[in-house]
Amino acid sequence: MTENNYVNRGLPDIVRRFEGTRVLVIGDCMLDEYIYGECNRISPEAPIPVVLCNEKCDFLGGAANVSANIKAVGGEPLLVGVVGDDESGERLRKALGERKISDNGLVVSHSRPTTLKTRIVAQNQQIIRLDREVFDDLSDEDLSSVKERFDGVIDSVGAVVISDYGKGVINRAVLKHIRDVIGKEDIKTVVDPKVSHFEYYKGMTVITPNHREASDVCDINIVDEITMTRAGKTLIDRVGCENVLITWGERGMVLFRNGQEDMPVFIDATARSVYDVTGAGDTVVAVLSLALANGASIVDASRIANYAGGIVVGKLGTSTVLKSELIEIIEKGS
């Protein structure tokens, strides 16, 4: 038995238990619009490419994409978030319905638009991205509705994912409410964090910054294992969460555990090819939450999430991972 196969023994069984596991996802929902075309010339009006568009596709983004990833690997997501009273919001809800994900937890706001990110792609390369969004905190009315939606489903879940893209749904008041409601219940909380909100995540089970976010928060330039370890220890101390899982691009992930900061777990990357990192963080938190909800240790849950992230970056566009794909790559040990 190889070292990888020994380490991975038992992980496929954890993934098989994902089926039907309920996870509450709360955070910023987005619609990712992809416009595909061909680029064969430069505009005579300015030094920019001219793209002949021939296809448009909608993908779920942010908390909605976390939900799609949970659904794809067999879990049952309960999504709580906000969309605008607009066409993009209708398209987002339609995309959820196509994936058999309920939109009952979505609040339709009359004071803010649905976050829409438009990517124009030609010859498998992104040419430009257009963002239509606001960053203001929710209105009092919308905030109250979000709390009500959260309270209505929390008793039935094994984990909570907080998808914080800084678009207004997640703030100090919402996170305090989450902590107050969960109380002493053994519900795992997984956070995809926003740099400006790190001080809000005290007491969470695990936060999952990428190495650039970790560098920014700690003011440490992460270039090797030594600086990575310094950053991880600093984050554990500063944030006050139980665990920090830092994603490190082609180098994999590094797990830091409160009380064991001097023993980081370095997890090698598994991706064979990287075509698109869009939504990879959503995949990581989705799979991490399902593994934790099914009793996996934080180390095993992180290893499974690492495999899932390695699969999704090999796909173009905001993508998901199937349970069969995840089990297969874990069993192969690479």
Mean pLDDT within 259-271: 86
| The two three-digit tokens of residue 228, written as one number | 């990575």
Helix H segments across the chain? Answer: 3-8, 11-16, 63-72, 87-98, 140-153, 172-182, 211-218, 225-239, 280-293, 298-312, 323-332
Average pLDDT for the chain:
92
Residue 116: pLDDT over 70: yes
* ∠ CA 135-136-138, rounded to 5°: 120
The residues, ordered by sequence, that sit 6+ positions from 162 with a Cβ below 8 Å of its Cβ are 26, 27, 170, 175, 178, 189, 190, 191, 192, 204
**43-72 per-position pLDDT tens digit:** 999 999 999 999 999 999 999 999 999 999
Annotated active-site residue in 103, 140, 282, 300: 282
| The two three-digit tokens of residue 81, written as one number | 């978030």
Domains and CATH numbers, the chain: 3-30+60-115+133-332 (3.40.1190.20)
Q: Is 282 a catalytic residue?
A: yes
Burial environment of residue 59 by CB neighbours within 10 A (0 to 12, 13 to 18, 19 or more): buried
**204-222 per-position pLDDT tens digit:** 999 999 999 999 999 999 9
Output the pTM of the full model: 0.91
Q: How many CB atoms lie under 10 A from the CB of residue 76?
A: 19
186/167: higher pLDDT: 167
> Which residues are bridge partners to 117 per DSSP?
32, 131
